Amino acid sequence: MSDSDDGTTTTEVATARVREAILRGEIAPGERLHQVSLAQQLGISRTPLRAALLALTHSGLVSYESNRGYRVREFSPTQIRDSVLVRAELEALACKLAATRISAEDLSELQSLVALGDRLLQGGTLRPESHAPYRDMNVRIHQLIQQAAHSPWIMDFVARLQNVPLSSDRIVLWEHWDIIHRSHDDHHRIVAALAAGDGERAASIMREHIIFAQEYLLRELNRTPDAYARRADDKDQQEDKT
């Protein structure tokens, strides 16, 4: 299926856009997915959007209730923590495998991505216009290491775990510079370990990298537990008035 001449989007494109918006935290857990406003927000047409919401329901990222419509699925703190632990172990395993399987081209790309992160973080701050490039850099590093492991099982299972939004690598607490700086330092050390063929060290750093970031995120959410709920409720109320 391809984009039609009238500019409508395919189901695949619509699914990817909604999924990324949820994983990045732009649409909060528990938030109602109003099709008209969501189509406008993401720049997609309503026909593929309906198919996308159905697909995301099947994958477990979205839930549907009769007479209430679609909502972003909510997960308990225990479910989130468990998903993070499993993801950390899988990505650590990816590092172990990648240490002996990574190509020179993939290693060069990882080093280029780390250098890009350095440039984005120059000056001891991360400007708003650099948020999206930094997020993309971070996601690409994780994806590339998984690809370098040459294990489709790892990539498949990690992709499923990304369907738990608060364990996703798309969420970054932009106001917390020290955490971002620490996270990127981990990237440096992981890539250096892979370049040295030290899979055990790369795995150890990756495991701690993922667990620390998500524990910090959960602590912040516990400190302001109604932050996501308020955002979702505000949007729902705005929609109900239209």
Q: Are residues 60 and 118 both part of a single domain?
A: no
Distances (CA, A) of 242 to 82, 217, 238: 39, 34, 7
For the chain, percent of residues with pLDDT exceeding 90: 47
Q: Are residues 189 and 207 both part of a single domain?
A: yes
For the chain, percent of residues with pLDDT exceeding 70: 87
**The pLDDT value given to residue 5:** 36
Q: How confident is the model at residue 225 (pLDDT cuts 50, 70, 90)?
A: low
User: Measuring CA to CA, which residue among 32, 25, 90 is closest to residue 220?
Assistant: 25
CATH number at residue 59: 1.10.10.10
The mean of the pLDDT values for the chain is: 85
H or E element that contains 25 = none
Is the pLDDT at 233 greater than 60? The verdict is no
Q: Name the more confident of 91 and 242.
A: 91
- Report the 10 Å Cβ neighbour count for 149: 24
pTM of this structure = 0.77
Q: Are residues 131 and 218 both part of a single domain?
A: yes
Distances (CA, A) of 60 to 29, 54, 57, 80, 239: 12, 10, 5, 14, 24
Q: Are residues 193 and 156 both part of a single domain?
A: yes
Q: Are residues 104 and 186 both part of a single domain?
A: yes
User: Quick check: is 236 in a domain?
Assistant: no
Contacts of 126 (CB under 8 A, 6+ apart): 120, 134, 174, 177, 180
**The pLDDT value given to residue 2:** 41
Give me the residue label for tokens 């839930």: 63
**The pLDDT value given to residue 89:** 97
Q: Are residues 97 and 122 both part of a single domain?
A: yes
Total number of domains constituting the chain:
2
Q: Are residues 194 and 212 both part of a single domain?
A: yes
Per-residue exposure over 108-123, b if at least 16 CB sit within 10 Å of its own CB, e if not: ebbeebbebbeebbee
Provide the residue range defining the domain that includes 113.
Answer: 77-223
Q: DSSP letter at 76?
A: -
**Range with top average pLDDT, 50-64, 156-170, 200-214:** 200-214
Cα torsion 77, 79, 81, 87: sign: negative
CATH number at residue 129: 1.20.120.530
**The pLDDT value given to residue 123:** 81
Q: DSSP letter at 123?
A: T
